A and B are shown apart, each in its own frame.
Chain A
Amino acid sequence: MAEQAAAETTAGGYPVPDEASRLEPLRIFMRRFLRVRLVRPALFILVVFGIIAIFVDVFPLPGFEEQATDEDGLYVSWQSPNADHPFGTDKIGRDTFSRVLHATRAALAVGFGASLFGAIFGLPIGIAAGYARGVVDEALMRLMDAVLAFPGLILALALVSVLGRDIINIIVAVGIANIPWVARIARAMALSVREQDYVLAGQTIGASNLRIMMRYVLPNSFQPVIVQVSLGAGFAIIAEAGLSFLGLGIRPPEPTWGGMVSEGRQVIITGSGWWLWVFPGACIALLVWSLNIIGDGLRDVLDPRLRGALEGD
């Protein structure tokens, strides 16, 4: 492999386009991205949560429904954090640590599921609006304005009350609120791409509108949409936890961070049980923070115009 690479280098020392040089932009991108402030800790947090979500079943933990008992067979409930239960136990003796880790799955599934759902529907709507312009644009964008008029959590709450509370419905309910944001960004990209010479060239050789949208406009809209997927996942995680907090999220006994915060809220006045809501609450904040930092970091690196503006600010 190394010999081959060396053989393909020109006399001037410039590599001909091979695997390595095609990856060069990615390397430059990663180097810049990792230099953005706080991106490294944010990536670390996201990766840790990802690993937890994938491998939580093989961790040596009590099950999330398992009720701890003492030697007399009584449930060990309301334990504050200790060696056996690092995050304490709840009112029926379930281990909070195990439940917090298991809930990572629901959070990431709804977070990224809803965010991708928004991208999958928002991209074609935005591209079609921006490419077609005129009446189509006006109609689609007013429709998006109508969706935006409902605050995300309120729209999700209404949809869940109709559709029911299984995880797919929650992903759809939260995801719909993400569609207009992606559509607006994709539309802006399509508006600028459609004026490019290569689109004109495509039209000249008789490419269909659909082909031009798929081959030229879509790939150019990806980068800003990736930023939105990251930010949208953060919003979706907050919304999912909000639904669970209000009792309209994923059904118990499946643990969710929002549901656990809600259990803590019920006893907060007694001055006890802080561990029930502080740990899951911190997880929500950490995960959403990291997604926001990553999203903002991606935007800084992917959009050079913004980079200058931020430095000058």
Chain B
Amino acid sequence: MWTYITVRVLQSIVVVILVAIASFAIFRILPGDPVAALSGEGEAISPERRAQVEEQLGLNKSVPEQFGKWIGDIVSSGDFGSSVLTNRSIGSELIQRLQNTLHVGFATIIVGMLIGIPAGVLSAIKPNSLADRLVTMLSVGGVAIPDYLTGLILILLFVVTWDVLPAAGFARIWDDPAASVRSLIMPTLVVGWVLSAIVARQTRSSMLEVMRQDYVRTARAKGLRERRVIALHALRNGLLPVVTIVGLLLARVFAGAVIVEQIFNIPGMGRWLVQAALQRDLLIVQAMILVIAIAIVIANLLTDISYGILDPRIRYG
């Protein structure tokens, strides 16, 4: 087991280093004049401004030195540099934004679990039933219907037609619980229903496996009602593997954040990334994709390790 964990951790460290190099490299392959592009001003940049931007970005140094300084500052003091356009420090705003994104993200995962687990259990108990077919349909739709479309459909229903929810905005649950829940319903449903399909599939297959086990047969044989067999015997073991996919779900949440935060005006990382990309404030883009990618690498690592703990077959020899 420890061999497996060590190998996976080492692999992840290599991937994180590659991710950092990639995030850095993307912005050094700029076509044309990098200073002009990074300043956000284009070719009309004045010589003074050019010198200032070069100094700020360290572009007057060699490329390895630039990379070293960028990573060094981040690792040593969480300093991601500052926005070329507004001169504000990226690091301090990043923490705010990351909190908001994770706030919505965890709520989304809870929604996915709340819908997905019962749906998965139902479809495992009664294969080919209505619930089972619904789960299949959800997974097909979850892949084909993009997040922006789901978002607009929800707005059309909850805001325009029924007028029961605010169209946009965001409040944290500990600041204003009621407003927070209302503001989170639509954003969490957009990605939450996709997650629920993933959760339901995972729940279904692990429940089907558990229902074949001897102890379930024993429970039935001693005359327990089916409901008790499922609730007391099958569910506990059947739900354990579902925990392992939280990492996968988190990755999907980050991918969806770009769209969801844009539609519902949530001041998170996704919205910041889009604004920065539109204004070509590339240091922010660079910092955002680095943080998101590292979060996903960590999420995948935790997924694999939890799989390894639960299922010895996964581990290396």
Contacts and interface: CB of A to CB of B under 8 A. Distances in A.
Contacts of B14: 142
A142 B145 CA distance: 31
B143 A245 contact: no
A81 interface: no
A277 B259 contact: no
B31 A163 contact: yes
Nearest to A164: B31
Contact of B15 (A145, A162, A245, A271): A145
B258 A154 contact: yes
Contacts of B294: 149
A142 B15 contact: yes
Contact of B152 (A142, A151, A159, A281): A281
Interface in B152-209: 152, 155-156, 159-160, 167
Contacts of A146: 15, 18-19, 22, 293
A273 to B, nearest CB: 11
B30 A162 contact: yes
Contact of B144 (A158, A160, A288): A288
Interface residues of B, number: 50
Contact of B251 (A151, A159, A258, A292): A151
A62 B89 CA distance: 50
Interface of B is mostly: helix
Nearest to B269: A154
Contacts of A161: 276-278, 280, 282, 285
A152 B259 CA distance: 13
Interface in B242-298: 251, 254-255, 258-259, 262-263, 273-274, 276-278, 280, 282, 285-286, 288-289, 292-294, 296-297
Contact of A150 (B30, B259, B293): B293
A285 B255 contact: no
A284 B251 contact: no
27 contacts: A145-B15, A145-B297, A146-B293, A147-B22, A149-B293, A150-B296, A154-B255, A154-B273, A158-B286, A160-B277, A161-B278, A161-B282, A162-B26, A162-B27, A246-B277, A246-B278, A261-B149, A268-B155, A268-B156, A274-B156, A277-B149, A281-B149, A284-B146, A285-B146, A288-B145, A288-B146, A289-B140
